[in-house]
Amino acid sequence: MREDLEQQEQLAALKAFWASNRKWITSILIILVLISVSTTGWKYYTESRQLQASKLLSSMQEAVEEQKIDDAILITNELSKNYSSYPQRGLAGLILSKALVFDDRKEEAEKQLRNLLNIDSDISWVARVRLAGLLLDMNKPVEALSILPEKIPSIWIGIVSDRRGDVLMALGKKVEARSAWVRALEVYGVDRAEGVARNMIKMKLATIDSLQVVDKKSGAK
């Protein structure tokens, strides 16, 4: 009897609580359901857009392989307009700029690379290095130097400093060029890929040291 009475009291208390609080409890439940639905919907939306961006990138690559450069430009423009925050946009710009250079459309390649400089990712640093090299080929070393800052993220110090050295050398600034190459050499490792870069930099340093010796001898005369 006592247990039955306690159960009845508990049930009565529960009913009273529900009667007094059902409005806000129902509201909370509705909010939780809406949050769950919106989260699921947002996940589906982002995954869907990611997939679409990947499809566009694939189509752009096919256009480049088939040498349909103008088609590749149109697809890259669509990625830039509608998927600017996705990595596929940056990758498309890098691929297209390389194809444009190969097609001897350097000014258009320069434009594509400049559009990547403000992307908040490592792609912007790849674009900087490539653009600096392109500007050197176009005999624009001052512009090339302007896009290669001295303050560089640690992971990019090697390749960016190497390219800075190339640009400074083109400007006739041998001392600064040597310093840039030495900085690059200091961060490169000894694995196969970086070993090739190290050897190239050593050759540049040997060349510039030889030139400085010649300059000193000429000055002595």
Question: What pLDDT, in 10s, does the model give residues 191-203?
Answer: 556 778 888 889 9
pLDDT for res 40: 59
pLDDT of residue 3: 46
- Prediction pTM value: 0.75
Sites in the chain below the pLDDT cut of 70: 1-45, 47, 190-193, 212-221
Domain boundaries, the chain: 150-221
Please give the class, per CATH, of domain 150-221: mainly alpha
Convert the chain into a string of H (helix), E (strand) and C (coil).
CHHHHHHHHHHHHHHHHHHHHHHHHHHHHHHHHHHHHHHHHHHHHHHHHHHHHHHHHHHHHHHHHCCCHHHHHHHHHHHHHHCCCCHHHHHHHHHHHHHHHHCCCHHHHHHHHHCCCCCCCCHHHHHHHHHHHHHHHCCCHHHHHHCCCCCCCHHHHHHHHHHHHHHHHHCCCHHHHHHHHHHHHHHCCCCHHHHHHHHHHHHHHHHHHHHHHHHHHHHHC
Confidence (pLDDT) at 160? 93
